Amino acid sequence: MGVADEADRRLHKGRGAVSNPAGRFESKQARSWDDGWDLGEESLPALETTITAEPAKSIISHNDSPDIGFDRSINPYKGCEHGCIYCYARPSHGYLNLSAGLDFETKLFYKPNAAELLEREFRKPGYQPALIALGANTDPYQPIERKLGITRSILEVMARFRHPVGIVTKGAALVERDLDLLTQLARDNLVGVGVTLTTLDPALKRTLEPRAASPASRLRLMRLLADAGIPVRVMFSPVIPFINDAELEQVLEQAAAAGASYASYTFLRLPHEVKDLFREWLETHFPLKATHVMSLVEQSRGGKAYDSTFGRRMRGEGNFAELIAQRFRLARRRHGLERPARTFDLSAFRVPDAERTATATQLGLF
């Protein structure tokens, strides 16, 4: 490793990525370099979070992926201050001419007109309701939601129109803030909340997901939601070989005790820049494990760091991936976390102050 590499990889407290490499669409790159003056190592200035309004032209994104249980989603924010090093959404910052590294965690964008656009969609003649996933790319309950309230404004529209919504988050306090809306939606069988619980170890959480809620806070949130009649899914995601895979059974056990009714998992995904950022993170925080971890990842991805093939990208393949799948199935069954027979009631959808005849149909939860 050269002097420039060392300078580029000094740690910023409370941030997940170790560096800030140029995006894959950039034609130029800049690197720190020791000019030989030997003035001693300067402490890095705090990396402040910047927030920029980015009015949207449309609000509902559509997909045709066979690997996920929804075909439409809303992302209130671009970038995510939680700073999860493994986040598969990091490369999306490249489309903004920003880095998937520290830029993704510190240069954030929000959609101030999200609720207005959503209501406009719901009022279109012929609109047919279907599950909308909230936060499929970045977390809708990341810290800036406290100030901006974009996620809450979207949920207010969902509640008024009685529209089904599925939420995925690593937040806690801000989800509790919206308990009134979530309870209202739950009464009409229109909401499910997936809480990602990657580890029970606070020390690992602080480097893996530095600004997400603590494991204990997420378990408390599950209990709060369950007691309020809101369906809760625990998501052990991602499974990282030799880092958190040993916790699988304990995570499901504690989530079940906290009121979760269903469990799911995904295997570590390292698309585009994420593979290099993750390797840096491993070499910084787990230098003695780094080679073994990446070897197991590649064994589970057909010899590569990532395989995007539908049907394999969420679970991996090979002996290690199959072992994880078997352990997960046994633990899910043991703790009663198999898929519940719940459906969203699409017939509840209504357009306020307008006549609407809704077709009584059902949609599977997640």
Mean pLDDT of 25-54: 65
Position with higher pLDDT, 358 vs 36? 36
Write out 143-208 in H/E/C secondary structure: CCHHHHCHHHHHHHHHHHHCCCEEEEECCCHHHHHCHHHHHHHHHCCCEEEEEECCCCCHHHHHHH
| pLDDT score of 214 more than 70 | yes
Using pLDDT thresholds of 50, 70 and 90, give the confidence band for residue 357: very low
Instruction: For residue range 162-186, list pLDDT tens digits in order.
Output: 999 999 999 999 999 999 999 999 9
| pLDDT score of 360 more than 60 | no
Does 259 fall in a domain? yes
Lowest mean pLDDT among 23-27, 74-78, 362-366: 362-366
What does DSSP assign to residue 364? E
Residue 76 exposed, middle or buried by CB count within 10 Å (0-12, 13-18, 19+): buried
pLDDT the model gives residue 322? 97
Residue 316: give the domain boundaries.
58-76+115-364
Does 48 fall in a domain? no
Q: How many angstroms separate the CA atoms of 93 and 326, rounded? A: 35
Using pLDDT thresholds of 50, 70 and 90, give the confidence band for residue 356: very low
The number of domains in the chain is 1
Does 38 fall in a domain? no
Does 39 fall in a domain? no
What CATH number did the domain enclosing 173 receive? 3.80.30.30
| pLDDT score of 341 more than 70 | no
Q: What angle do CA 176, 84, 258 make, to 5 degrees?
A: 40
Q: What are phi and psi of 244, to 5 degrees?
A: -130, 0
